[in-house]
Amino acid sequence: MAERRVTVGWAEGLHARPASIFVRAATASGVPVTIAKGDSSPVNAASMLAVLSLGAQGGEEIILASEAEGADAALDRLAKLVSEGLEELPETV
């Protein structure tokens, strides 16, 4: 299983707009990805409600994971998006 631990770069955390950007990127990756915070159970990264339910704040660590083929590249792109707190969905995601 491929996994990336990343610190949330958005000051407001994964709420509203940042969560929407992240979910669109996770969906566009074409790879099933899960996201977790701390000891919480992983949730589907392509689900807006699931991502919001994590309550991930800026500066907190999250864990992105996938067992699919091509997971490493997808997780690298998603980790960059989250850690840099990008405001727009990168074209490469």
Give 25-69 pLDDT, tens digit per residue: 999 999 999 999 988 999 999 999 999 999 999 999 999 999 999
Q: 13 with 57: CB under 8 angstroms?
A: yes
CATH number of domain containing 33 = 3.30.1340.10
Share of the chain above pLDDT 90, in %: 85
| Number of domains composing the chain | 1
- Active-site positions read 15
91 located within any domain: no
Q: Which domain holds residue 56?
A: 2-84
Q: Please check whether residue 30 lies inside any domain of the structure.
A: yes
pTM of this structure: 0.91
**Does residue 90 fall inside a structural domain?**
no
For residue 89, being part of any structural domain is answered with no
Euclidean distance between CA atoms 38 and 66, whole angstroms: 17
